[in-house]
Chains A and B, each alone.
Chain A
Amino acid sequence: MQRVFPFFVEAALVTIEITVLALILGLAAAALAAAAKMSRSAILRTIGTLYVSLFRGTPCLIQLFVLYFGGPQIGINLEPFAAGVIGLGLNIGAYMAESIRGALVAVDRGQTEAARTIGFSRFQTLRKVVLPQAARLMIRPLGVNTVALLKGSALVSTISVVELTYTAQRFIGSTYKPFEIFGVAALLYMIMVYAVARVVDLLDKRFAIV
C-alpha cells in the first residue's frame, strides 16, 4: 500500500487539474448559455435552450464517447485529457447555466423595474442591480454543481485519462485488493469533496446578507 500511495496522490492531482479546468470552461459556457436563454433574440434563445436541453438530457458518459471516439470522424482529434476537460466542462456548463438563470430569475422583478424607472439601461440594471444580488444566490447551486463535477470527473477514466479512478482500477487489476485500493481512492475523493464543500460554505457565509 505504501508503495502505491504516491501514485494515488499524483492521480488525485490530475483529478483536481481536470476538475478545475472543466469548471472554468463550464462557468464560461454556463454564463454564455444563461445570457443566450434570457436574450431578446429568438435565435440566441433557441441556441441556449438547445444546448442546455441536449447536454442535460443525455448521459455525460455518452457525451465523452461522442467527443473522444466519434470526434475523429468529424475531424476533431483530441488527446484523452483535452477531450475529458471539454466533455466534462460542456456537460456541467449546461447544469450551471440553469443554476445561474435560476438565481437571476429569483431576484425580485421590482428591482429591475425600479432600476429601469430611474433611468438605468438594461445592461446597467443587470450589472449594478441584478447581478450583485443574484451572485449571492448562485453560490450554493454552483457549489453543488462543482461537487457533482468533481465526482463526475471519474468518468474520464473510461477514455483512458490517468486520473484517480483509472489509477485505482489499474491497481485493483494488478494487486487483487479492491477493498484496500477502493478505500484509498474513496478517502482521497472524500477529502476533495469535503474541501469543495467547505469553500462553498465559507463563500456563502462571506456573502450572506444577514
Chain B
Amino acid sequence: MQGLDFTVVAPYWDLLLIGAWWTAVLTVSAGALSFVGGILFAVTVLYAPKIVAYPVRALMWVFMGTPLLLQLFLIYFGLAQIGIDIPALAAGIVGLGLHFAVYNADIIRAGIVAVDVGQTEGARSIGFGKWQTLRHVVIPQAIRNTAPPIGGNLIALLKESSIVSVIGIAELVHSAQLAISETFRPFEFYITAAALYYILNLVLEAALRLFERHVEASR
C-alpha cells in the first residue's frame, strides 16, 4: 500500500486533456451517426418493403441483445479477417454510432407512430407526396417529441465511448493507461479520468438542457 499522491498527474495533464478532447470528438461524431442512422433505421422498419425491413429489424435485435464490447470486437477484428482493414478510430465511431442508432431508432419509430394521423392527412390533402409528408411534416415532429430520450442516449454514448479504448483508440481511458504504464499510479489517473468524464457529462447535460429549452420555445 502506497500513499496517494495526485501531483503525479500534473506532468501528464496535457496527455489527459488530449484524451478528453478525443472522447468529445468520438461522442460528437458517433452521436451524429447514431442520430442519422436512427432515423434511417426507423423509417426502414416502418415503411420499407418487408424484404428490407425484416433483415434490418433482425440486425437491430442483434445490436440490442449483445454487448457493445463484443460488437466492437466483431467490427474491428471481424472485418479485418475478411480483408476489410479499417482504422481503429473508424471502427470505434461506426461501432458506437450503430449501437446507439439502434436505440435511437426504437425511440424515433415510436415517435413517428405517435404523430397525429391528421398531420399526414393534412399534408397529403394539400398535395404533399408520401415522401415529402414524411420528410417535412412527420419526422420533424417525431424528432422534436423524442428529443429528451435521444439526448439521454447521447449521454450514455459519452460514457460508453470509454469502451473503444480496448481496440486501441487514443481517447481518455487510453491516455490514462499510457500515463499509468509510466508511473504505476492507477488510482490517481483513473480517478482523474473519472473526474474529466464527469465534467464532460455535466457540459453535455447543460448543452442538452439549453437545446431542449430552445426546442420548447420554438413550438
Majority SS at the chain A contact face: helix
Partner-A contacts on B (CB < 8 A): 1-2, 4, 61-62, 64-70, 73-74, 77-78, 81-82, 159-163, 165-166, 173, 180, 185-188, 190-191, 193-194, 197-198, 201-202
Out of B1, B81, B163, B198, name the residue touching A75 (CB < 8 Å). B1
- Chain A residues whose CB sits within 8 angstroms of the CB of B69 once the complex forms: 154-155, 157-158, 165
Interface stretch of the complex, out of A56-64, A106-114, A122-130, A135-143: A56-64
List chain A residues, Cβ under 8 A from B2. 73
Task: Please measure, in the bound complex, the distance between the C-alpha atom of A157 and the C-alpha atom of B185, giving whole angstroms.
Answer: 21
| Contact A189–B70 (Cβ < 8 Å) | yes
The tally of CB-CB contacts under 8 A between chains A and B is 119
Selected contact of A69 from candidates B61, B166, B186, CB within 8 Å: B186
A186: nearest chain-B partner, CB-CB: B66
* B94–chain A nearest beta-carbon distance, Å: 15
Contacts of B188 in A (CB 8 A): 70, 73
Q: Which of B70, B162, B187 contacts A154 (CB 8 A)?
A: B70
A81 within 8 A of B: no
Q: Smallest Cβ distance from B167 to chain A, in angstroms?
A: 11
| Interface residue range, chain A | 35 or more
Taking the nearest CB of chain A, how far is it from the CB of B63, in angstroms? 10
Are the CB atoms of B163 and A62 closer together than 8 Å? no
Q: CA–CA, A190 to B69, complex, Å?
A: 14
Asked if B159 and A60 sit within 8 Å, CB to CB, the answer is yes
Q: How far is B165's CA from A155's CA once the two chains are assembled, in angstroms?
A: 12
Q: Is the CB of A182 within 8 A of B78?
A: yes
Other CB < 8 Å A-B pairs besides A73-B2, A73-B188, 13 of them? A57-B202, A58-B159, A59-B163, A70-B191, A73-B186, A74-B4, A151-B66, A154-B67, A168-B70, A168-B73, A169-B73, A179-B78, A189-B67
Chain A's closest residue to B162 (CB) is: A59
CA distance A61 to B61 in the complex (A): 24
- Bound-state Cα–Cα, A60 to B173, Å: 12
Residues in B whose Cβ lies below 8 Å from that of A193: 64-66
Closest A residue by C-beta to B165: A61
| Minimum Cβ distance to chain B for residue A60 (Å) | 7
What chain A residues lie within 8 Å of B65 (beta carbons)? 151, 186, 189-190, 193-194
Q: With A73-B4, A73-B187, A172-B77 in contact, do A63 and B194 touch (Cβ < 8 Å)?
A: yes
Report if A65 contacts B (CB, 8 A): yes
CA distance A87 to B29 in the complex (A): 29
Q: Are B194 and A62 in contact (CB under 8 A)?
A: yes
Q: Shortest CB–CB separation between residue B89 and chain A, in angstroms? A: 18
Partner pick for A62 among B64, B67, B78, B193, CB 8 A cutoff: B193
Contact partner, A59, options B159, B166, B191, Cβ 8 Å: B159
Q: Check: A54 CB closer than 8 A to any chain B CB.
A: yes
User: For residue A148, which residue of chain B has the nearest CB?
Assistant: B156
Cβ 8 A contact of B197, one of A57, A153, A158: A57
Cα A73 to Cα B188 with chains together (Å): 9
6 sampled A-B residue pairs with Cβ under 8 A:
A57-B202, A66-B190, A151-B68, A157-B69, A172-B73, A190-B65
**B193 engages A69 (CB within 8 Å):** no
A72 at the interface (CB under 8 A from B): yes
* Chain A residues positioned under 8 Å from B62 (CB to CB): 186, 190
